[in-house]
Amino acid sequence: MGSTVVVVMREEFPAHPHPHRRLAAILAADIVGYSQMMGHDEEGTVRRLKQVRREIVDPTLEEHYGRLIKNTGDGFLAMFDSPLEAVRCAIVIQQSVTARNTDVPRDERLQYRIGVNLGDVIVEPDDVFGDGVNIAARLEALATPGGVYISGGVYEQIKNKLVCGYQSLGDEKLKNITDPVRIYRVLADPAAFTRATKKRRLFLMPAGIATAFALVAAGLYSAGFLPIGGKPSLVSVEQRPQWVPVPLVTVTNQPARAPRAEPPASNNADAAKPLAPSADPMPGAPASDRALASDPQVAILTPDLPAARMIQSASGFRDCETCPEMIRIPGGSFRMGSDEDPSEQPIRTVTISPFAIGLSPISVAEWNRCAAAKGCNFALDGSDIAPARNLSWLDAKQYVDWLAKLTGKPYRLPSEAEWEDAARAGTSTRFWWGRELESGKANCKDCGGPQDPKVPMPVGSFARNAFGGADFGGGVAQWVADCWLPNYRDAPSDGSPRTAENCRENVLRGGSWRSNAASVRPASRTHYDTGVRYPAHGFRIARSL
């Protein structure tokens, strides 16, 4: 009798009668207008969807420790232990798909909507259930094409950890969800928040006020005060400072380089010449505004370098006709860091081997050559002479890998130490040109100009330093090879980059054109997510000699 009861119990009850519940971040995504695309081209749409899943979605989920629960027709459902990784994954997927779409006809472009929620869910081997999943699905349905919407619970967990903007959309009553849910729109470009806010305010303006504004605008336009299309007027190419090219030399055996001597202090404001133009829009800069220190412990101005070093560092070369121009940086020692910010400490002596660095940040034209050769995943819009922008660290790495393969030369990203050494150009003052701000030296919002508040200035619009390098201050914040660490404790003294397994954030140097003056100091450093693009981020390249 007892054995019979046991058999019945085994048949009627599962091995684990209580469902497995856990707190998890759920990512829900689907394709905008998928049914219409299927009606237009069924086979082609399915083929493109599978390709996006294979080349973008699946590897991005894996990189961010996500678990694909299931594909849902045109969408998918994924689960993460960390809401931070879930949102990072969502941003990278959206940016990667957007980049891919630049080469796809408009009616064939796939666009995801993504919702992310943090909640309690029931987990089964091949599925998840519960309100945590339902809220993510509702957020996805509300999201704009190419957008990422998150719940208030996710926002509270990531608001100080991911360098993004967040636009609050208020509390919403979602279908079949008891309590209202606070919703946020993720803005990988925080400046978009300002644009969105202005747009909403204009939409909510009383009709009379809106009409009045329209009439005033029409009057200004007819009088010639407003540009066509409302675009900001830019300085013409003819008005921009022209590039005085450095002499090009053939790359042969490395010439002998004198060791660095500690040069006497001086203030040689004419040591540098202006370079070449480039302009393109690029909002925002994530670097924190740091207070100006009145007496930083980094002080000797040294553009009066020995003549041999000046000749060596000022000579430029290219490894191919269309390759970026490089300048040689002689080996030697310098003092790295400052007392202005804890992340720049401790100040220490670093000894650098000779290397070459890009005369200026990579331009749109230089990036697009990589894209045309299929070495980079997408092309950039804008003027050829604009600094390449809206690039992640992984994008920058892709470019240097392509250039190294093209030329057979050891191109790479510079280390933090190499970048700072090249930016200082033998000086130890607060700025490479001296202690105080001077106009014409850097592109930031309070650097004294020239400056356009809406776009970075052309590459090479500012004076060169004593090594012949341009645009080390402002313009675009520049990726370097190092993984982000909060200070220089235990940093190598040979100038090599600091790396880490599964690095999630990398270092940026130089500040952007919308940064404050403290951010354009050679010692200033900040960081951003490795795989996330941001409109104020670009890079310059280095090459071993």
pLDDT, one tens digit per residue, over 491-524 is 999 999 999 888 989 999 999 998 888 999 999 9
Are the CB atoms for 442 and 515 separated by under 8 Å?
no
Tell me: pLDDT of 300 over 50.
Answer: no
- The predicted model gives 182-190 an average pLDDT of 83
pLDDT tens digits, one per residue of 369-424: 999 999 999 999 889 999 999 899 999 999 999 999 999 999 999 999 999 999 99
Closest among 425, 385, 382 to 243, alpha carbons compared: 385
What DSSP element (H or E) covers 27?
Answer: strand 20-31
Map out the domains of the chain as residue ranges. 21-197, 237-545
**pLDDT band with cut points at 50, 70 and 90 for residue 158:** very high
- Beta-bridged to residue 332, according to DSSP, are 352
Q: Which fold has domain 21-197?
A: Alpha-Beta Plaits (3.30.70)
Contacts 24+ apart (CB under 8 A), 407-411: 407/319, 407/320, 407/323, 409/319, 409/543, 410/543, 410/544, 411/541, 411/542, 411/543
Q: What is the 3-state secondary structure (H, E, C) of 98-162?
A: HHHHCCCCHHHCCCEEEEEEEEEEEEECCEEECHHHHHHHHHHHHCCCCCEEEEHHHHHHHCCCC
pTM: 0.59
Are the CB atoms for 181 and 174 separated by under 8 Å?
yes
Q: Which fold has domain 237-545?
A: paralog of FGE (formylglycine-generating enzyme) (3.90.1580)
Whether the ω angle into residue 450 lies within 30 degrees of 0, i.e. cis, is yes
pLDDT tens digits, one per residue of 56-88: 999 999 989 999 999 988 999 999 999 999 999
pLDDT tens digits, one per residue of 319-332: 999 999 999 999 99
